[in-house]
Amino acid sequence: MMVDWPALKVAALESQSRAYAPYSNYRVGAAVLTQSGEIFGACNVENASYGATCCAERAAAYMAVAAGYTVLTAVAVVTNGDAPGTPCGICRQVLAEFGGDMDVLCFTPEGAEKAYKLSELLPFAFTLE
């Protein structure tokens, strides 16, 4: 299946607009694509107890799983700044759980973008094997 990057980017941008980031001001939006073509977007949600914070990438993956989709094929992640930010280590591992070596597009609203394979970002992922 071809990845509809424009649709994923729109979903990530819409999600970023709802980010709750009063502590870091680092607003992140993410959108995952399921194997059957559904898109799930989510934002980061911070908490005064930092460990209770949830990243946008994990939130999007968990929304897809909660809806019954356990195979993800791509993720788009939007962050502000001069260069696109990449998913954190925990998010990389969660994405690997449901997407193997998925396509990852990191971008900014201003147009900077960088594409990766998940294996580039997490070369030694923990797996069922």
As annotated, the active-site residues are: 57
Burial (CB < 10 A; 0-12, 13-18, 19+), residue 109, is middle
- Helices 5-16 and 56-66 sit at what angle, rounded to 10 degrees? 110
Query: What is the C-alpha to C-alpha distance for residues 14 and 42, in angstroms, rounded to an integer?
Result: 9
Query: Would strands 28-34 and 39-43 be described as parallel, antiparallel, or unpaired?
Result: antiparallel
Query: What is the C-alpha to C-alpha distance for residues 51 and 45, in angstroms, rounded to an integer?
Result: 11
